[in-house]
């Protein structure tokens, strides 16, 4: 497979495939941002909304594909290539949904170099999709940190903006902001997300954390790398005992991406959609 970013389909005029083609998947080598001495768990959860195929009688079906990629897979898949790949099934016939799911699992697992989990939400299940806002996080209610009267003037990531008080006793807290924005490193198109941070440690200053999140506003980075940068910076500056960072990016090109990174001991976050998605 071609891993050269100069060949990436993102940002180029690309014809839609007429037939199934697994070679459309474009793997990008992961660049781990989190220091190796920090033991991390997590995944990248993708939803594909443009999913359609043919039944044996030629009648189309539609569904929502859900893909969970291990955070430590050697490669991640470029989003436009995934969109093109999923659309290559539009004129392909499958005897049943399980055969389609098995094919997608095989292809994406081969592309990223690790076994991925695949599930399908069929059209008659669409009404079961619940919008979950804010994110459910056990018995700890999420606190929205987006209201602030402070002056904001930093729009490139700056960990020095973060602040916690080591003189205060440790607490468990769940925080979220809808104001995370970064830019695609290939096209410079804006990527929007809500970010959800759970931690146990000395209190993190909410205004300082919000300023840090806002500082990504002009940053160019893939979704996965942005989440790992946030995780690594909070760990280094605030040194919490436990930390979880989950970003729910707005869909682009029929795909939304939701990376999660955490220290050991956290339950995976809810995979329900936010109102932004």
How does pLDDT run across 29-82, given as a tens digit for each residue?
999 999 999 999 999 999 999 999 999 999 999 999 999 999 999 999 999 999
Distance of alpha carbon 31 from alpha carbon 14, whole angstroms? 26
Instruction: Please tell me whether residues 94 and 176 are part of one structural domain.
Output: no
Average pLDDT over residues 218-222: 96
Q: Which position has the higher pLDDT, 220 or 18?
A: 220
| Domain boundary, last residue among 89, 123, 157 | 123
Sequence-distant (≥ 6) Cβ neighbours of residue 196 within 8 angstroms:
134, 135, 137, 142, 174, 175, 176, 244, 245, 246, 247, 248, 269
Instruction: Please tell me whether residues 88 and 148 are part of one structural domain.
Output: no
Instruction: Please tell me whether residues 188 and 103 are part of one structural domain.
Output: no
As given in the structure block, the two tokens for residue 129 are: 């999709």
Average pLDDT over residues 258-273: 94
Catalytic residue among 44, 164, 184, 238: 184
Phi, psi dihedral angles at 103 (to 5 degrees)? -65, -45
- Note the pLDDT tens digit of each residue in 173-208: 999 999 999 999 988 999 999 999 999 999 999 999
Total domains in the chain come to 2
Domain interval for residue 242: 142-263
The residue to which tokens 């995979």 are assigned = 271
Sequence-distant (≥ 6) Cβ neighbours of residue 1 within 8 angstroms:
23, 25, 26, 27, 111
Query: What's the pLDDT score for residue 7?
Result: 56
**How much is the pTM?**
0.92
Nearest one of 91, 90, 118, 114 to 102, comparing CA atoms: 118
- Note the pLDDT tens digit of each residue in 235-255: 999 999 999 999 999 999 899
Catalytic residue among 44, 107, 191, 233: 191
Strands 171-183 and 142-144, sheet pairing? parallel
Query: What's the pLDDT score for residue 178?
Result: 96
Query: What's the pLDDT score for residue 140?
Result: 72
The residue to which tokens 């959800």 are assigned = 196
Residue 168, in any domain of the structure: yes
User: What CATH number is associated with residue 33?
Assistant: 3.30.1130.10
Query: What's the pLDDT score for residue 39?
Result: 94
Percent of the chain surpassing pLDDT 70: 94
| Residue 169 Cα distances to 65, 128, 207, 211, angstroms | 44, 42, 19, 23
Residue 229, in any domain of the structure: yes
| Domain boundary, last residue among 93, 123, 153 | 123
Does residue 191 have an active-site annotation? yes
Query: What's the pLDDT score for residue 1?
Result: 44
Query: What's the pLDDT score for residue 2?
Result: 43
**Percent helix / strand / coil, the chain, rounded to 5:** 25, 30, 45
Contact call for residues 261 and 189 (beta carbons, < 8 A): no
Residue 254, in any domain of the structure: yes
Instruction: Please tell me whether residues 34 and 75 are part of one structural domain.
Output: yes
Instruction: Please tell me whether residues 108 and 148 are part of one structural domain.
Output: no
Residue 134, in any domain of the structure: no
């Amino acid at each position: 497979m071609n891993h050269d970013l100069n060949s990436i389909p993102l940002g180029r005029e690309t014809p839609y495939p007429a037939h199934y083609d697994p070679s459309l998947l474009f793997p990008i080598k992961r660049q781990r941002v989190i220091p190796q001495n920090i033991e991390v768990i997590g995944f990248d959860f993708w939803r594909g909304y443009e999913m359609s195929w043919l039944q044996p009688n030629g009648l189309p079906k539609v569904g929502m594909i859900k893909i969970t990629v291990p955070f430590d897979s050697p490669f991640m898949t470029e989003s436009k290539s995934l969109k093109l790949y999923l659309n290559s099934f539009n004129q392909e016939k499958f005897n049943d949904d399980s055969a389609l799911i098995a094919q997608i699992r095989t292809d994406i697992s081969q592309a990223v170099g690790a076994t991925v989990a695949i599930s399908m939400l069929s059209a008659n299940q669409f009404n079961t999709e619940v919008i979950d806002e804010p994110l459910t996080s056990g018995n700890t209610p999420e606190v929205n940190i987006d209201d602030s009267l402070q002056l904001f003037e930093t729009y490139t990531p700056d960990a020095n903006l973060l602040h916690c008080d080591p003189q205060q006793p440790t607490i468990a807290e769940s925080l979220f902001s809808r104001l995370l924005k970064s830019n695609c490193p290939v096209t410079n198109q804006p990527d929007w997300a809500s970010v959800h941070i759970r931690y146990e440690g000395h209190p993190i200053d909410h205004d300082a954390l919000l300023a840090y999140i806002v500082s990504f506003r002009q940053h160019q980075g893939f979704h996965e790398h942005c989440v790992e940068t946030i995780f690594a910076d909070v760990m280094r500056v605030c040194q919490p005992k436990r930390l979880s960072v989950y970003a729910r990016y707005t869909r682009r090109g029929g795909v939304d991406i939701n990376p999660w990174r955490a220290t050991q001991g956290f339950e995976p976050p809810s995979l329900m959609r936010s109102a932004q998605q």
